[in-house]
Structure 1
Amino acid sequence: MTKPKLWTKNFISSAIANFLTFTTFYYLLVSLPIYALQELNSNESEVGLIVTFFLIAAIITRPFAGKWIERIGKYPVFLTAFLIVLASSFLYFIAQSITTLLIIRSLHGIGFGMATTATGAIVADLIPESRKGEGMGYYGLTLNLGMVAGPFLGLTIMHLGGTNLLFFINALLDLFALIFVFFVRIPKETVPQEVKHLESNKGIKSLFEVSAIPISLIAGFFALAYSGIISFVSVYAKGIGLVEAASYFFVVYASVLLISRPFTGKWYDRYGANNIIYPSIILFAVGTYLLSISPSLPLFLLSAALIGLGWGTIFPTLQTIAIAIAPADKRALATATYLSTFDFGFGIGSFLFGLATVKVGYSQLYFYSTFFVLAGIGVYYLLYGKLESSLKDTAIR
């Protein structure tokens, strides 16, 4: 029996646009603080707002983006989002003060929130149902690859070419993303045909997909621990004398993802979520523990591999579940609910982790994070795992 086609022009174009979006996100995430300190004479507290303003704008925008998608369709929101992102990329050239930069970051965050919500909803419709886990796994990989390519490119350009080249490359990448948007054609059956039911579903509840909330809370829980790794591993590496290895941490992380993603996505389709999530949580926890005791380069990079295999599998699998259990016409809202909750957990986690480092060292925090991640087994079981098990038992009977 022939498998339904996954690698279509629409899927590839959407995935590349998503990769470029996250590449520029991480590209600016590591370079703008340097720009603000050196060029705008800002202080550390003001620099912290660069990420905060961006994430707040994205978090607030996503639920509305899901609602707009239901009302006017996916592609109009999809296209508008990337136009906003491109417009904001040109505005960085005129940022002459921290206030102006924060306004631009807010606009960029709005476009980013719309873009990631619309792209996720479109991709979910483009992937054949029988290959949903595999397809969403590959799609999730574009985020992880952007996380590696962005920082490397941003720091390299900042060091070699200065801020003008930095902003030019950023605008160029966003332009390429927009070009790939024009290659995407959404099948007619995925465009909403009815919007009458929306009139009876108003207020705050209409901005979130209820079925996706439990899975989203699980993602937000794990994001609390994950944020401490992403935000502070380079500082931690410097503290333990492995400063040059910090960039390789993410290279190893991404390499493991590339190798494992084809298998984990197919295993999800074949064996179900529980058989993927539980081992991944354990791998994530072991990787975090090894990071906490990393006195040498091999152990440091091994922790990167295990975290990449663990968390890199958990994130797309949970997103796949959130989309799969939502009604077809609610996938955009499900995507928005999932990503907004994840971003909220990430933002809170980074803030709390930063506060905790004042009293507790990074090594101890990563050690405690190990048990936090393991507690996620219970969180997952209570919010979703036991439900899937009961559904399987019912199917067997």
Structure 2
Amino acid sequence: MLRPYAGHLTDRIGRRPLLLAGTALAATSLALTALATDLTTIIALRLLLGVAEAAFFVAGFAALVDIAPPDRLGEALSLNSLGLYLGLAAGPPLGEVLTQRSFPTAWLTAAALCAAATAAAAFIGETGTPSRTRNAKLIHRPAIPPSIGLCAALAASGGFLAFAALRAQEEGFENTSLPLFLYGATVVVSRAVFAKVPDRMPPLKLGAIALAVIATGLILTATPHTLIAGSIVLGAGVTFSTPAFFAAIFATAEPHQRGAASGTASAFIDIGLGGGPILLGVIANAGIPAALATGGALAAAGCLWTLILSRAR
């Protein structure tokens, strides 16, 4: 809910204040979590962490687009997303090790990491030109159509993240985290190796291809004995989907609208990652393969939508 407001503020007062405030607020929330003793306080601190994340994420993407050369925007978006994936990959095992000592140790370490991010953000100058226009929109409407394609990709891949381990268990895997590892490794390696590809193709065309590959990967994960192949194919599709759609989204925005475009697009990220597993969870009552196949159908629908959008443009 707060991402569009964060985007509005990013355009009004600049990127740097939200980068600093977001990381500092996250550090404060996590440090106080180490001291919390009741559920109500913990929920309040988690909500505060959500405010911090909205501010930092939206301002970070807007700042990235400010500093990236236009002909290398896709490469910048690919490399930037590695930070997100590496953080998500390293955070849980680090937390698991730290909680063996104590939960407060884990929370305080997380707070220290956010404090380090605050220090790093302090060395980043203001990349945007704050707009003094008071009638700026909270929602950047031209960003909505490509954001729908991005939402479809994330809803489909989010369903895989929710059910991959259970699917591996059904298939008799001893190591049920193997499909998730191969998926994540494929995304990280491919985004580093093929970072320049998004700059060599029209973004919506690349987004449509990525969605088609995602659909293929999910159908393979739903098919007996092809879970490993499907995980790798899915990772290949996800490699290009986010850079492609973000490039298409920011192509609709003037420099003083990049915060609003980032806020609008990232709200669709939350809808996709949150809504996809819920939707496919309902289908999973009929079986996990049915849920994964439905995710493939969702990605295929997103592919069709993106192709229509590409032709219209």
Same fold (TM over 0.5): yes
Residues 41-80 of structure 1 aligned to structure 2 (within 5 Å): 60-80=1-21
The one-letter code matched in structure 2 to 1:83 is A
TM superposition shift of 1:243: 5.5
Aligned amino acid, residue 121 of structure 1: A
Structure 1: distance between partners of 2:281 and 2:32: 30
Deviations 1:339-378 (A, max 9, x none): 0012023222222223333x21112211232222212221
State the shift of 1:274 in Å: 4.1
Two-structure CA RMSD over aligned residues (Å): 2.1
Of 191, 202, 206, 1:261 maps to 191
1:217 to 134, 148, 156: 148
Pair 335,144 (structure 1): closer, same or farther in 2 beyond 3 Å: same
Aligned residue number for residue 199 of structure 1: 134
Matches of 2:272 and 2:26, distance apart in 1: 24
Q: Does 1:372 align with 2:298?
A: yes
Q: Which residue of 2 aligns with 1:242?
A: 173
C-alpha displacement at 1:125, in angstroms?
A: 0.4
What is the TM-score with the length of structure 1 in the denominator?
0.73
Instruction: Check if 1:314 corresponds to 2:241.
Output: yes
Q: What do the CA deviations read for 1:98-132 (whole angstroms, capped 9, x no partner)?
A: 32221111100010011100111111101111111
> Cα deviations across residues 267-319 of structure 1 (Å, max 9, x unaligned)?
22222224422332222112112211254xxx433322211110221022111
Q: Which amino acid aligns with 1:93?
A: A
**Equivalent AA in structure 2 for residue 283 of structure 1:** V
Residue 229 (1) aligns with residue 156 (2): no
CA spacing shift, 1:347–1:280, aligned 2, 3 Å: same
Tell me, in whole angstroms, the C-alpha distance in 2 between the residues paired with 1:351 and 1:94.
32
Aligned to 1:360: 286
- Secondary structure of the residue that 2:175 maps to in structure 1? helix
Q: CA–CA distance in 1 between the matches of 2:108 and 2:54?
A: 22
Q: 2:139 aligns to what?
A: 208
| Structure 2, unaligned runs of 5 or more | none
CA shift digits 1:317-349 (9 cap, x unpaired): 111211122111101110110000120232222
Say whether residues 1:183 and 2:123 are aligned partners: yes
1:326 aligns with 2:260: no
TM-score by length of 2: 0.92
Within 2, Cα distance between the matches of 1:137 and 1:302?
A: 23
**Aligned-partner Cα distance in 2 for 1:372–1:311:** 14
In the other structure, the counterpart of 2:216 is 286
Report the 3-state secondary structure (helix = DSSP H, G, I; strand = E; otherwise coil) of the residue aligned with 1:101: helix
Paired amino acid for 1:177: A
Give the direction of change, closer, same or farther, for the CA distance of 1:95–1:239 in structure 2 (3 Å limit): farther
What is the deviation of 1:156? 4.1
Percent same amino acid at aligned positions?
Answer: 24
For this pair of structures, how many residues does the alignment match? 313
Counterpart amino acid of 2:107? F
The answer to which structure, 1 or 2, has the higher relative contact order (CA under 8 A, 6+ apart) is 2
1:18-69 alpha-carbon deviations (Å, 9 max, x no partner): xxxxxxxxxxxxxxxxxxxxxxxxxxxxxxxxxxxxxxxxxx1111111111
Q: Give the direction of change, closer, same or farther, for the CA distance of 1:281–1:170 in structure 2 (3 Å limit).
A: same
Which of 203, 207, 232 lines up with 1:277 in the alignment?
A: 207
Structure 1 residues not aligned, in runs of 5+:
1-59, 389-397
Distance 2:228 2:107 in 1: 32
- Rounded to whole Å, the distance in 1 between the matches of 2:199 and 2:239 is 17
Q: Is the 8 A contact 1:148 1:250 kept in 2?
A: no
Alignment-mate amino acid for residue 376 of structure 1:
G
Q: Is the 8 A contact 2:204 2:245 kept in 1?
A: no
Verify: 1:385 aligned to 2:310, yes or no: yes
Q: Is the contact between residue 278 and residue 377 of structure 1 (CA under 8 Å) also seen in structure 2?
A: yes
